[in-house]
Amino acid sequence: MLSLFFTTIVFTLLSAVVFILPLSFGVKGAVFIALLLIGLSVMVWASTNIRSGVYLKTINSNPRHINEVAITFDDGPDGDQTPRILDLLEKYDAKATFFVIGRKAKENLPVLNRMVQKGHIIGNHSYGHSNWFPFKTVQTIRREILETRAIIEQVIKKPNSYFRPPFGILNPNIARALANLDFLTVGWTIRSLDTQNEEAKIVFNRIIKKMKGGDIILLHDTSKNILGILEKLLVYLSDNEIKAVTIDELMKD
């Protein structure tokens, strides 16, 4: 959806450049502006497409594991919904990976403890998840990530090795902030768009339409219909003999 939006905007701007601007700036000026716009579009694409690998290498799937998928939850823990997500995962004998926000993790340590006890993986999703996170300085970004790492490690008692950037946005500052921290940055292959308040059935259908073995699925603890979406997905996986595993397990071999 987003890429279609960007393509339309870029195409419209380029058409304007090619057909209208030569009249006011001359051909050289128009070519310059066209190149500038193409450069800007590539930058936007590289920042908003976590799989591009332009700024940082990311883990997005493991097609060799055809009978497994990794379900990932961002933006929790949520005091109300995350415990119920954990109940559902247990009911269907499924494992997942939770990319937690440091500030929320600190207030919900018992939920984090339960994740560990049940064999799930906890990853780092920044401390505050502010809309401005991608625009912060290298030092601030690094401090947020380290603060969250400390909270997570207090619970998991081993190194916190997985990171997912807020909004899936990567840029040179975030890449520099992560330098030498030994994180594996995790993206996804299936974006459920579960935060749009649609009916569970619509989101579930969107997920399974493109899903194949080895995929990483992006969900959110905070989505209004997350419990309905998750239960439908877990039933589907079990009916099709596909195992929901942690990122650790999916990336083996």
Q: Return residues touching Zn ion (CB under 5 A).
A: 74-75, 166
User: Hey, what's the torsion of the CAs at 141, 147, 151, 156, to 10 degrees?
Assistant: 60
In the complex with Zn ion, which residue's Cβ is closer, 218 or 234? 218
In the complex with Zn ion, which residue's Cβ is closer, 11 or 135? 135
CB of 112 to Zn ion, least distance (A): 17
CB of 126 to Zn ion, least distance (A): 8
Determine if residue 15 is left, alpha or beta; phi over 0 gives left, psi from -120 to 50 gives alpha, anything else beta.
alpha
For the chain, the distance separating the N- and C-terminal CA atoms, rounded to the nearest angstrom, is: 33
In the complex with Zn ion, which residue's Cβ is closer, 134 or 228? 134
Handedness of CA 238, 243, 245, 247 (dihedral sign): negative
CB of 192 to Zn ion, least distance (A): 13
In the complex with Zn ion, which residue's Cβ is closer, 74 or 198? 74
Q: How far apart are the C-alpha atoms of 251 and 245, rounded to whole Å?
A: 10
Q: For residue 127, which phi and psi values (nearest 5 degrees)?
A: -90, -40
Q: How far apart are the C-alpha atoms of 225 and 117, rounded to whole Å?
A: 25
CB of 15 to Zn ion, least distance (A): 35
CB of 166 to Zn ion, least distance (A): 5
Q: Which residue is nearest to Zn ion (CB)?
A: 74
In the complex with Zn ion, which residue's Cβ is closer, 94 or 218? 218
